[in-house]
Amino acid sequence: MKILITGANGMLAKEVREKFEKNNEIIATDVTELDITNEKMVQEVVEKIKPDYIINCAAYTAVDKAEDNYELADKINGDGPANLAKAAKANGAKLVHISTDYVFGGDLDISKDYKEDDSKAPVTAYGKTKLHGEEEIQKNMEEYYIFRTAWLYGIGGNNFVKTMTKLGTTRDEVNVVSDQHGSPTYAKDLAEIIYQAIEKKIPYGIYNATNQGYTTWYEFTKEIFAEQGIGCSVNPVTTEEYIEMMKITQAKRPFNSQLSKEKLLKLGINIPEWKDGLKRYLNEVKENEK
Ligand SMILES: NC(=O)c1ccc[n+]([C@@H]2O[C@H](COP(=O)([O-])OP(=O)(O)OC[C@H]3O[C@@H](n4cnc5c(N)ncnc54)[C@H](O)[C@@H]3O)[C@@H](O)[C@H]2O)c1
């Protein structure tokens, strides 16, 4: 198959590329080769390449900055997917797009998790722009997959695991938020889910796609340290306490980011546990350091 990857320099894109390039022809583009906000450029490139699939990894992902840069974020996260959907439809291509837990309000009782069709109520500018992108795709085409992920980390990007590892090896203690609940997701595992979905030709539509199991940033940090034998102590703090301590302003994070994967699991998609993903990620980091 011929696959056009957009936002190809990003963290997830790196894994997607690695997974798909073994048996597909990949055309990898980032903003300089294909700016997804440029409708004409998108049409021309898609028409010229005539891909079987477009995998859109391009996004405005700076959650806090998006609060002050709504227009730009919405251009990339809302108008970009609209351009890709129109061009895909016109050229018989299927579209894979990545969305986020932030399309939900995050105030659901912690004993529950979000199903794909639960009502959307994004509280952040970023979440609003990502929901806009989902809606544009649904409006403009039928043959799409939208995978909603969360708490993503991977080799090719700055991420929470890297940050905490660095802090853990240079400090005696760290304060970490313990009232936000979700699933840390290894970008390689998300790329694998996308691969399986395409291979198995699962029905088009929207799917929650994170690693399995739920935790908090606090518990996640403890696991990151335990796996690497880092002795730094981890103090649980509430989001409110953290903001106060750090003297920061930040976009409101959802307390409940737990996404149910029942829909994918029922279709036979294999989804590893988050602890398993973390182990493999840390091994890969170690291998790369050799
Ligand atoms: N990182 C997370 O924790 C997280 C959580 C939930 C969902 N997501 C979603 O997962 C997807 C991948 O995230 P990531 O962390 O790998 O992203 P990233 O920030 O690492 O990469 C995004 C890429 O998009 C490119 N890009 C930006 N504007 C562009 C434009 N106009 N045209 C073409 N390319 C452009 C950037 O240059 C960059 O290479 C995104 O859709 C994101 O919203 C990420």
User: Does any ligand 1 atom lie closer than 6 A to the CB of residue 54?
Assistant: no
Domains of the chain from N-terminus onward = 2-159+183-212+258-273 (3.40.50.720)
pLDDT digits (tens, 9 = 90+) for 224-259: 999 999 999 999 999 999 999 988 888 888 999 999
Pick from 4, 5, 12 the residue to mutate for probing ligand 1's pocket: most ligand atoms within 8 Å of its CB: 12
CA–chain centroid gap for 44, Å, is: 27
Share of the chain above pLDDT 70, in %: 100
Pick from 97, 152, 161, 162 the residue to mutate for probing ligand 1's pocket: most ligand atoms within 8 Å of its CB: 152
Greater confidence (188 vs 245) lies with: 188
Q: How many other CB atoms are there within 10 angstroms of residue 206's CB atom?
A: 19
Dist CA 213 CA 218 (whole Å): 15
Dist CA 15 CA 8 (whole Å): 10
Could you tell me whether strands 233-237 and 173-177 are parallel, antiparallel, or unpaired per DSSP bridges? parallel
To the question of pTM greater than 0.95 for the whole model, the response is yes
Query: Can you read off the two tokens belonging to residue 212?
Result: 């399995």
Q: Which of 53, 60, 126, 242 is catalytic?
A: 126
Give distance in angstroms: CA of 12 to centre of ligand 1: 8
